[in-house]
Chain A
Amino acid sequence: MPDVRCPMCSKPNPSDAATCKSCGARLKPLVPGESPIGGALGRGGDFLLGEEGEPGHGEGGADWLERRRPAADEGGEAEHEALTGGADQSGDQPDWLGRLRPAGAEEDEGPPEGEVPDWLSSGEEGRAQAEAEPATEVPDWLARIRERHEAEAQAQANEPEPAPEEDWLGRLRAEELPPAKPELPPARPGRPPVESVPLAMPKEPVSRPVFREEVFKDDRLFPAPDIGLEPEEESTESPPLPWNPPGDRLTPSRGFGRKPSAGAEMAGDQGEGEKPARRGGLDSAAEPAWLAEAREQADDELPHVPALVGDEGSAPASGSAADVELAPIDLPDWLSELKGAPPQAKPEPEGMGDRLAPATLPSWLEAMRPMETFRPVVEIQPEEEQQVEAAGPLAGLRGVLLAEPVVAMPHPSTAAAARLDVTERQFALGDLLRRLVKEEERESPAAARGKRRLPLVRWAVAVVLILAVILPSFVGGPSFPVPALVPPGLPSLINLVNELPTERPVLLVFDYEPGYSGELEAVAGPLLEHLMLRGLRLATVSTRPSGPPLAERLIQQTGEMHQYTNGEDYLHLGYLPGGPAAVQLFAQDPHLAVAGGFLLPEGTTGATIWQSPVVRGVERLSDFGAVVVIAAGTEIARTWVEQASPMLGETPLVMVLSAGVEPLVRPYYEALDPQVDAILAGLPAAVAYEQANGQPGQARTLWDAFGSGMLVAELSLVLGAIYGLISWLLRPGGG
C-alpha cells in the first residue's frame, strides 16, 4: 500500500496510520459517521464516563460540572483548548456532527446562497409572523422546512407534555425573542446544535460541577453526545440557553452566549461595543457564588480569548424548546432557580475587543502541531507597557518586535572562537616578550655603592687656582707686565668718548647679573672714569631688577674722586620691566617707559624724574649723547642692538662686554653698516684703557691675579695632557 504523507511535515507514514509518527498530526480527517473510537467522540466520551470511564463516576454523571470549576482555575490554557474545541471549522468536524449532518444535509435545508436573510436575527415570534404571511411569499426551501416542522409537531403532540421545569427554555426564548421577525430557517447545516449539549447532562443534580483538566486538553471534548435523537429533530431551531452549558462556557464570547437575536450577528453584523455573551444572558445577580467566582478567576487569569473560534458559527442554533427532550435531565438547583429569569444581554464593556488575542491559534490547528512544547504563550502586555521602537522604519510604533536589542545591542558572539595557529617563531617571540615583561616586573637589587673617591684632582686644581688669584693681591707677586699692545678698537672708543657732547647726558645700561660684577666693573670702570673725566651727565637704566643697585655701586666706586652727586651728575631711571618690549618702548618713548626711579634725590619722583637736570631735554633715545650697554650675556646685547639702534639716529652705541660675549657681538661692530660703534671687552682692554686714561684703576689691580689665574688654567691643561699621555703609555697595550 502506498504511504500517506503527513500534510504538516510531509513525512511518509503508513497508510493505516491515524497520526503522523513524526509530528503527531492527524493524517485522516474526521468525517461524519466515523467510528468514535479514537476519535473526538471517543475521547469526548470521557467527559461522560468520568475519570474511570464509568458513567456517573464521582458525583454521578454530573461531574462535568465539578470538573468545570477546577478547569476554570487552571488558567487560560485549558479553557483555551476547550474553547477552541467547540469551534466549528471546516474539515474538523466531530463525529456527532457527522451523524447529525445526514438529517440536515438536505440541499433544501438552507436558503440558497446569497439569499440568506436576517434569519439569524429572528425568533419564535418571527417565525410565527412568517407563518402569517402569504404563502406566495414563502420560498420553496422554507416551505419544505415548514412542512417538516408541522410533521414533527404532530408527532410531538402525541407524546406526553414535558415537565413544567423543562419548558423554561421555551419560555425564556419566547420572552426575549424580538416580536416581529420572520421565521428563520433552521441552523446552518453542519453546525452542531447547541441544544444537544444540555441534553447530554446527567440526570443527577450536581451542586458544583467540576471539570477535569484532561477534559480540556482535548479540543473536541464538547461534541454533542450520543443522545439518540434523530437528525431531523436536531435540525430544528434551538432555543437560546439561559445559562451556559459546558460548551458554552468554553466558547468565545461571540459564540454561544449571545442573546437570541444573534442571528444578525451570525450574519456578520456584530456590534463593536456589544458585550460577548459568555454568560449566556444569565443575570449576574442570580448566578451562584461559585460560578461568579469561577468566572472572575477565569476572567482574571484568561485575558486571551481565542479570536479565530466561533466568531460566526457558534451562535446558538435556533429551535424551539419543544424540540428538545428535557424530561430526563435533572437540572441543578441553581439552574432551576434561574429558569424564570429571562436572560438579559449585558452590554459589552468597552475595551472588551482589546482582550481578544488576534494571534491565538484555533484548537483544531493547535492539535495538529507536532509538539506540545511549541505551544506559544503570547502575553500581550497593555499598550502603555509595551515598548516603543526607537530605531528603524518602525520607530515610534508601540508593540512591535524590537529589532535593536537583537541587532545593535552588544551580545556575546555566537561564532565559535577560531583556533589560533601559532608558528614556532611566533611562539618564540611571544615567549621572549613574556620573559621581557616578567623581567621588568622583577625588582632589581640596589646597586652596590661604589667606593667613594675623594676628588683630589678637583681639590688640587681649586686650591692652586685660589692661591694663584689671592697671592698677587696679598703678597704682591708675581707681577705681570701690562699689555704693550693696545687692543684693536680701543682707540676708536677713546676718540668716541672724547667727542661726546657735554650738554647731552650719556645713558648707561647696566644689564648684567651680580655674578659678572667682578669682571664688568673692572672693564666698565675705565670708560666710566673717562666719561666722568669729561664731566658728562650720566643716566642709568636696566632691564633687570638687580641693575640699578649695580649701577649705584659702580658709580659710587668710580665717582668718589670726581665728586659725582646723585640727582645732579647722575640719575638712576630704574628698572624697565618687560624685556625686549620694554627696550622697544624705551627706545620710542623714554618718558612712557620709565615708571619710577631708583634712589631718586629729594624732590624728585617718578612723575618728575624727567624734570631732573640730569635728563632735562631728553625726549627720545636719540637725545642722549651716547648709549653704553654693559652686558654679560648675548641675548641682552642683541636686544639692545636690534631694538634700540633704529631709534638711536646719530647717537653712538657702545658695548661693554664680558670677554665671552664679545665674539657674538663683534659681527654688529665689524659690519659694513655697523650697529655698534665701539666695543670694550675683557680685562686686557680695560687695563689698556686705564693706561690710556693715565689713571690705574681696578683693572690694573686685578691684572696680576688675572694673569696668575690664566697661568694656572694653562698649566692645568698642560699637566692634564702630560698625565693623559703618560697614562696612555703606561697602559697595557698602549703605545
Chain B
Amino acid sequence: MRLRLSLVWVAVVIGVGLIVLLGFFVDQPVILDIRRILISWAVLLSAAALVLGLYNLLSVHWHKVSLQERGWPYSALLVLCFLVTLTLGLLFGPDYPVILMLFRYIQVPVEASLMALLAISLTVAGFRLVARHRDLLSLIFAIVAFVVLLGTGPWLVGGGGGAYELVRDLRNWVAQVWAAGGARGMLLGVALGATLTGLRVLLGSDRPYGD
C-alpha cells in the first residue's frame, strides 16, 4: 500500500513538473492555463508555509517563556510584539497608519542599526586579521580588501589623478574579473545543480516529498 502511494506521488510530481516545463517551450493556451493554475496552487502552498513558519516562531518563543529558559524576557517581548502587530494587521490591514508608523520608526531604524553594527564588526575583523594572522592568505585578503576600499571610496586628495585612476581600474579588475569569474562559476554550479535536481525529481529518482 505504501509502495502504491509513493508511486502515485511520483506520478503527480512528474506530471506537474513536465507541464510547467512544457509551458516554457510550447505556446499552447491549454498548457499555459494548466501551468498557471498549478503555479497558483504552489503560491497558495507557499503562503501557507509562511503561516506555519509564523506559528512555529510563536510556539518556540512561547515555550521558552513558559519554561523561563535563558533569555526568556526577549522571547516574551517578541511574543508580545508579534501578537500586537498581528492583531493590528488582522484588524486594520497592513496599510494602517499605526502599523506604518511602527514600521517606519521601529523596524527600519532597528534593521539599519544592525547593518551599521555589521560595518563596525567587519572593520574590527579586518584590523584583527592583519594584526594577528600573518600568513599568506591573510595578507592577500587584506591587500585585496584595501585595494577595493580604496578604489571604491572617494579620496581626500588626488581623486582625479592618475593614482586614483590606477587604483580604480585595479578595483574594477578585481571586481569584474576575479569576483565576476568566481560568481559565474557559482552561478554555473547552481544552474547545473538546479537542472540535475529538476531532472531527478522529474524522473522520480529523487523524492524530496517523501517515499
Contact = CB atoms under 8 A, between A and B. Distances in A.
Contacts of A718: 146
Interface in B138-195: 142, 145-146, 149-150, 152-156, 159-160, 165, 168, 172, 175-176, 179-180, 182-184, 186-187, 190
Interface stretch (B3-11, B64-72, B114-122, B201-209): B114-122
A575 B187 CA distance: 27
A549 B32 contact: no
Contacts of B2: none
B134 A716 contact: no
Nearest to B109: A514
A585 interface: yes
A662 B154 contact: no
A583 to B, nearest CB: 10
Nearest to B94: A598
Contacts of B165: 485
B36 A592 contact: yes
Interface in A482-504: 482-485, 488
Contact of A662 (B107, B160, B175): B175
B177 to A, nearest CB: 10
Contacts of A638: 187, 190
Interface residues of A, number: 72
A33 interface: no
A579 B39 CA distance: 11
Contacts of B104: 549, 553
A707 B154 contact: yes
Contacts of B168: 485
Contacts of A709: 119, 153
A156 to B, nearest CB: 97
B152 to A, nearest CB: 7
A438 interface: no
B50 interface: yes
Interface in A562-605: 575, 577-579, 581-582, 584-585, 588-589, 592-593, 598-600
B186 A664 contact: yes
Contact of A578 (B35, B42, B155, B176): B42
A368 interface: no
Contacts of B90: none
Contacts of B145: 717
B126 A546 contact: no
Nearest to B177: A663
Contacts, number: 180
Contact of B159 (A483, A670, A682): A483
Contact of A462 (B36, B46, B120, B129): B120
Interface in B42-101: 42-44, 46-47, 50, 94-95, 100
Contacts of B126: 713, 716-717, 720
A719 interface: yes
A638 B186 CA distance: 12
Contact of B129 (A484, A589, A720): A720
B184 A667 contact: yes
Nearest to A482: B154
B127 A517 contact: no
A461 interface: yes
B115 A518 contact: yes
A711 interface: yes
Contact of A513 (B42, B111, B159, B187): B111
A719 B149 contact: no
Interface stretch (A188-196, A222-230, A723-731): A723-731
Nearest to A665: B183
A515 B39 contact: no
Interface in A660-691: 662-664, 666-667, 670, 682, 684
Contact of A713 (B149, B159, B190): B149
A460 to B, nearest CB: 9
Contacts of A727: 131
A703 B160 CA distance: 16
A517 B36 contact: no
Given A514-B108, A666-B180, A717 B127 contact: yes
Given A514-B107, A646-B24, A457 B124 contact: yes
B114 A585 contact: no
B28 to A, nearest CB: 14
A465 interface: yes
Contacts of A721: 130-131, 142
B46 A577 contact: yes
Given A515-B111, A710-B153, A588 B130 contact: no
Contacts of B175: 662-663
A270 B179 CA distance: 114
Contacts of B35: 588
A301 interface: no
A655 interface: no
Contacts of B123: 461, 465, 712-713, 716
A599 B112 contact: no
Interface SS of A by simple majority: helix
A517 B130 contact: no
Contacts of A684: 152, 154
Given A465-B120, A514-B111, A578 B153 contact: no
A60 B100 CA distance: 128
Contact of A480 (B108, B134, B154): B154
Given A465-B120, A516-B115, A720 B153 contact: no
B152 A682 contact: yes
A457 B123 CA distance: 11
Contacts of A465: 119-120, 123
B187 A481 contact: no
Contacts of A720: 126-131, 142
A267 interface: no
Contact of A664 (B47, B110, B172, B187): B187
B108 A577 contact: no
Nearest to A589: B36
Contacts of A582: 43, 46
A15 B187 CA distance: 110
Contacts of A589: 36
A545 interface: yes
A147 to B, nearest CB: 96
Contacts of A670: 176, 180
A585 B159 CA distance: 47
A660 to B, nearest CB: 10
A352 interface: no
A461 B127 contact: yes
A548 interface: yes
Residue of B42, B46, B130 most packed against chain A (CB within 10 A): B130
B187 to A, nearest CB: 6
A192 to B, nearest CB: 79
A548 B89 CA distance: 14
A518 B127 contact: no
B197 interface: no
B134 A707 contact: no
Interface in A624-680: 638, 646, 659, 662-664, 666-667, 670
A714 interface: yes
A550 B108 CA distance: 9
A562 B112 CA distance: 27
Given A588-B39, A720-B129, A714 B115 contact: no
A519 B189 CA distance: 30
A312 to B, nearest CB: 68
B46 A707 contact: no
A456 to B, nearest CB: 11
23 contacts: A457-B127, A483-B159, A484-B159, A514-B108, A517-B108, A518-B112, A546-B103, A548-B95, A549-B103, A553-B104, A578-B46, A585-B40, A663-B176, A664-B183, A666-B183, A706-B153, A706-B154, A707-B156, A713-B123, A714-B146, A716-B126, A716-B127, A724-B130
Given A513-B111, A518-B112, A579-B46, 7 more contacts: A466-B120, A480-B154, A577-B47, A667-B180, A703-B154, A707-B155, A710-B152
Please provide the 4 A-B residue pairs with the shortest distance between their CB atoms, ordered closest to farther. A710-B153, A515-B111, A578-B43, A480-B154
